[in-house]
Amino acid sequence: MTASPADTSSSLASVLAAGLAIFAAPPLYAQEAPLAYAVAGDAIERPLAGQAGDAARGAALMGDRHKSLCVLCHSGPFGPVQLQGTLAPDLTGIGDRLSPGQIRLRIVDMKALQPESLMPAYYRIADAPRVAAAWREKPLLTAGEIEDLVAYLSTLKE
Ligand code: HEC
């Protein structure tokens, strides 16, 4: 049995429709482009996403070696000690030493304070021409994730 011209065009239409649906769907690994933030002194006072984060989610993210990477360098009262790094200051009691706004800037863009810092800038807009276009607008963590970390680290008091 051969397909009539009508069948062919309707199946073409459905293929096209499927293609358009894929186009319309957000890319799988889409990250929000960074929201503007204001640095005052050594802090970003306002939450990036306009609202405070969730400390419990922040604790989980802090211990996630693959997503946040924090424990590759930092130690503190989170996760197994033997899996924690020693390249960076221990974060025990960081909530006493730094305000939430100071913690926020350090996660967003430590290099703004210490240009040679090992610590990745987690929310800075990558401006280096070396960065491939596909990565330029993608922060390492979302605004909401950064706020979760700020909320959690602010609870670390001695
Ligand atoms: C590649 C190593 C590295 C990673 C990964 C890293 N940091 Fe850091 N961090 C540092 C270093 C080093 C410093 C100290 C400042 C400096 O000398 O650059 C620092 C400083 C800080 C400070 C300030 C500490 C203080 O006592 O003043 C905070 C807060 C912080 N990091 C949070 C984080 C969080 C949260 C993450 C994960 C989202 C993270 N860091 C990931 C290396 C790292």
First CA to last CA distance, the chain: 79
Query: Which atom of ligand 1 is least distant from the CA of 117?
Result: 18
pTM metric for this prediction: 0.80
Q: Write down the domain spans for the chain.
A: 33-154
Q: What are the φ and ψ backbone dihedral angles of 31, each rounded to 5 degrees? A: -120, 150
Report the atom number in ligand 1 closest to the C-alpha of 90.
26
CA of 115 to the centre of ligand 1 (A): 13
SS3 assignment, position 31: coil
Interatomic CA distance for residues 47 and 21, integer angstroms: 35
Query: CA-to-CA distance for 104 and 71, rounded, in angstroms?
Result: 17
- CB–CB of 156/95 below 8 Å? yes
Tell me: domain 33-154, CATH 1.10.260.40, correct? Answer: no
pLDDT tens, residue by residue, 108-142: 999 999 999 999 999 986 555 555 555 556 788 99
The total number of residues written for the chain in this structure: 158
* Percent of the chain with pLDDT strictly greater than 70: 71
Q: Which of 42, 62, 74, when mutated, tests ligand 1's pocket best, judged by the most ligand atoms within 8 Å of its CB?
A: 74
Give pLDDT, residue 26.
44
Higher pLDDT, 23 or 60: 60
HSE-CB at 91 with a 13 A cutoff on CA atoms is: 29
Residues paired with 40 in a beta bridge: 43
17 falls in which pLDDT band (50, 70, 90)?
Answer: low
Q: What is the pLDDT of residue 18?
A: 54
Here the tokens at position 31 are 């990250």
Buried b (16+ CB within 10 A) or exposed e, 43-52: bbeebbbeee
- The rounded Å distance from CA 107 to ligand 1 centre is 7
Please name which of 10, 31, 14 lies closest in space to residue 22, comparing C-alpha atoms.
Answer: 14
